[in-house]
């Protein structure tokens, strides 16, 4: 298995994984189906454009040239006055096909995006996890992420 920066030849595979991740999140989060109105197939061009403009980081995990997972994130400039942290790396999406989970793929994807964020000056990493996804929460905690902020919500 190897980790590579995204290449446009893998656009269809990225789109498929993003759709699978979206469907999974909708199954977990009571708000998500109401909130996500953009179809991944319509959004993929702007995602790739953001990657090409260096606004997004995307890494792919390959096994014998087959894409088996991806991570998407970015480095955010923190402009709050008084904040000691100037840049934060953020993981927006991470997906590994179920048959490749628990084989270190996610760990390698996280390591790759962390290294690039650090190279770009980030000193901290953040990721959002839905409360209904204890598997993801445990996964990120295993790699050093700690609970920091809890957001509560309800439909009205």
pLDDT in tens, 70-92: 999 999 887 666 677 788 999 99
User: What structural domains does the chain harbor?
Assistant: 2-127 (3.40.630.30)
What would the mean pLDDT of 101-105 be, rounded to a whole number?
96
Token pair belonging to 78: 């923190």
pLDDT in tens, 116-151: 999 999 999 999 988 778 899 999 999 999 988 888
pTM of this structure:
0.87
pLDDT at residue 82 in the model: 65
Q: Which residues pair with 125 in a beta bridge?
A: 89
d(CA 121, CA 67): 29
């Amino acid at each position: 298995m190897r980790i590579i920066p995204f290449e446009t030849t893998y656009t269809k595979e990225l789109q498929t994984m993003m759709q699978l991740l979206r469907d999974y999140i909708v199954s977990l989060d009571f708000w998500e189906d109401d909130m996500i109105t953009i179809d991944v197939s319509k959004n993929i061009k702007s995602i790739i454009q953001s990657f090409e403009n260096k606004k997004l980081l995307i890494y792919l995990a390959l096994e014998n040239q087959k894409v088996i997972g991806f991570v998407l994130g970015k480095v955010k400039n923190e402009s709050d006055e008084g904040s000691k942290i100037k840049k934060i790396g953020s993981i927006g999406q991470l997906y590994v096909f179920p048959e490749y989970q628990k084989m270190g793929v996610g760990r390698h994807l996280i390591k790759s995006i962390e290294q690039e964020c650090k190279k770009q000056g980030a000193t901290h990493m953040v990721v959002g996890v839905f409360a209904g996804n204890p598997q993801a929460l445990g996964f990120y905690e295993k790699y050093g992420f700690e609970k920091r902020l809890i957001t509560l919500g309800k439909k009205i």
